[in-house]
Structure 1
Amino acid sequence: MQRKDRLDRRAVAGVLGCCVLWGLNQVAAKAALNEIGPLWEAGLRSLGAAALVFAWSLARGLKLFERDGSLRGGLLAGSLFAAEFACIFIGLQYTTASRMVVFIYLSPFVVALGMPFIAASERLHARQVVGLVLAFGAVAWAFSEGFGHASGSGLQWFGDLLGLLSAVFWGGTTLAIRGTKLSQASAEKTLLYQLAISGAALTLAAIVVGEPAPLAWSWRLAGLLGFQTVIVSFASYLAWFWMIRHYPATRLASFTLATPLFGLLAGALLLGEPITLRLVVALVALAAGVVMVNK
């Protein structure tokens, strides 16, 4: 399939399906933290998904280790991917899944800001700059709530900050894929770089910082981690990186703004988390800003 300059129905359906799963993913990750440390959770899910991608590639006869110049980009993308999920899983200890999912999806802002340096055709115009300012202001306004209405630990602002950093790392991962030889690699190879490197790095970090190893497993923990590993990290990420390779990155990124809506609903329905008016207004303004950038 050749690269397209616009999104077709298959791409729209695919990215919205991913958004539903990613919204649920934050809830699953938050729920599992009662039984497993954040770095172990992030590392084990990446390693498990990496094994699935490797098996999938072997079954399809794909060549993963041929020299194609993608190693440098793969190491960069994998490192950014590891940093992103370290921020998410540690941050979920201090803030709610509903808030985390809103801050993570500042990522389209990062992609839109960085893409003109990679592809001149995606240079920003005046309306798009206004959209970026609106999106940034919305997130800053939502972030300020963490200082006045902190959660139980009193460090909600810290969890929110890690959510913002994860958005920067996710946007950086997308830019690394588009701006290096990874843009010409298969979706499977692109994903394997990120899962294998992040899995090894996060697991090593868990050991170094002395995070207790998950030795006792309940069916609940196995189900939550299985969902994150098989459905999210393997299936949905494989679809996402395939779409990045074949469709415009900025337009795909703008559609991911549906994810916070699903995340807010899932957090409220499944975890009983509060949804404040400020957070909802910030989400609407964030969506409006990024739509202005990508329309």
Structure 2
Amino acid sequence: MILTALAMAAFAGNSLLCRAALLHTAIDPASFTAIRLLSGAVFLYLLILLRREGTKEKAGSWGSALLLFLYAAAFSFAYISLSAATGALLLFGAVQVTMIGVGVLSGENLRTTQLIGISLALAGLVGLLLPGITAPAPQGAALMVLAGAAWGGYSLRGRGAGNPTLVTSGNFVRTLPLVALLVLGTLDHLAVDAAGIALAIASGALASGLGYALWYAALPHLRASSAATVQLSVPVITAVAGALLLSEPITLRLVVASLAILGGIAIVIHSGRRS
């Protein structure tokens, strides 16, 4: 329970750290992405050395690394205009919709209750994105949905990995050439300061690297349905922490959309586990 709670807090911390860095420091999204991925790679590599895990076989893949990089870059650029809570909700919704959608396209049969859950989640997502005073910025929302789709694809590719920590480390290392290209392509817009660098390192090493390690340590002790459902807490944790730490408003639209999206996904998960 403690490992799971810490892992969920770390996942929520990614949104909070990124939003705080882009809102209150001079760092730009490309620099944040670069430092986050580099520090995550270093942390995971040191963790593997500390645990004396085998490194003879090449872990990870370029396909997964590309999806990881796409997720991290789109995530950072999206948070220029999104609140931490809205970004986390869009990210989580897109991840689950992607993974469920791939399952359907692969031939999985859905029960009636699952179809109701998917419809409810999609209605909540549409309601959140509809034009209005409290609607999220279209460009930021599109980027976060892209980040969620990339993370969903990354998660699907990583299912059944023999050593998740080793594979994740290999994928982080493989993102570094892509990071270099991103930095070279945005040289005219790069900006950093001490506070921004510190938040990016915390996001990469602690919220990402340590967060994934904690999650993989907790997973063997959780039922599949529990592991899927507990992640519903991440947007809620982010919303509450965003209100307390970043003074972000919790709007009625966000609350209603959260209930629809998270409730719909919970219905799909539990109905699928029962079947």
* TM-score of Structure 1 vs Structure 2, range by shorter chain: 0.7 to 0.9
Among candidates 77, 81, 84, match of residue 97 of structure 1:
84
Structure 1, unaligned runs of 5 or more: 1-9
Mapping of 1:1-295 within 5 angstroms? Answer: 10=1, 13-33=2-22, 34-66=25-57, 74-106=61-93, 107-115=95-103, 123-144=109-130, 147-149=131-133, 156-178=137-159, 183-214=160-191, 217-218=193-194, 220-241=195-216, 252-295=227-270
**CA pair 285-150 structure 1, distance change in 2 beyond 3 A:** closer
Scaled by the length of structure 1, the TM-score of the pair is 0.80
* Counterpart amino acid of residue 3 in structure 2: G
Structure 2, unaligned runs of 5 or more: 271-275
Q: Distance in 1 between matches of 2:74 and 2:21?
A: 16
Q: The residue matched to 1:278 in structure 2 has which SS?
A: helix
Deviation at 1:286, TM superposition (A): 1.1
Q: Distance in 2 between matches of 1:242 and 1:211?
A: 41
Deviation at 1:87, TM superposition (A): 1.1
Aligned residue number for residue 5 of structure 1? none
Q: Distance in 2 between matches of 1:244 and 1:162?
A: 29
Aligned residue number for residue 4 of structure 1? none
Q: Distance in 1 between matches of 2:185 and 2:259?
A: 41
Bigger mean CA deviation after superposition, 26-35 or 223-232: 223-232
For residues 23-48 of structure 1, what are the alpha-carbon distances to aligned partners after superposition, in whole Å with 9 as ceiling and x for unaligned?
Answer: 23212111212321112111211111
Deviation at 1:116, TM superposition (A): 5.9
Q: How many residues align?
A: 267
Deviation at 1:245, TM superposition (A): 7.8
Deviation at 1:250, TM superposition (A): 6.6
Q: Distance in 2 between matches of 1:199 and 1:257?
A: 31
Q: Distance in 2 between matches of 1:250 and 1:211?
A: 47
- Do the aligned partners of 2:18 and 2:199 also contact (CA within 8 Å) in 1? yes
- Do the aligned partners of 1:111 and 1:253 also contact (CA within 8 Å) in 2? no
For residues 59-109 of structure 1, what are the alpha-carbon distances to aligned partners after superposition, in whole Å with 9 as ceiling and x for unaligned?
Answer: 322222416xx65xx222211111111111001112222211110111123
- Do the aligned partners of 2:35 and 2:201 also contact (CA within 8 Å) in 1? no
Q: Distance in 1 between matches of 2:224 and 2:9?
A: 19
Q: Distance in 1 between matches of 2:250 and 2:46?
A: 41
CA RMSD of aligned residues (A): 2.6
* Counterpart amino acid of residue 84 in structure 2: A
Scaled by the length of structure 2, the TM-score of the pair is 0.86
Deviation at 1:240, TM superposition (A): 3.1
**CA pair 211-47 structure 1, distance change in 2 beyond 3 A:** farther
Q: The residue matched to 1:66 in structure 2 has which SS?
A: coil
* Counterpart amino acid of residue 110 in structure 1: T
Q: The residue matched to 2:187 in structure 1 has which SS?
A: coil
Q: Distance in 2 between matches of 1:31 and 1:293?
A: 33
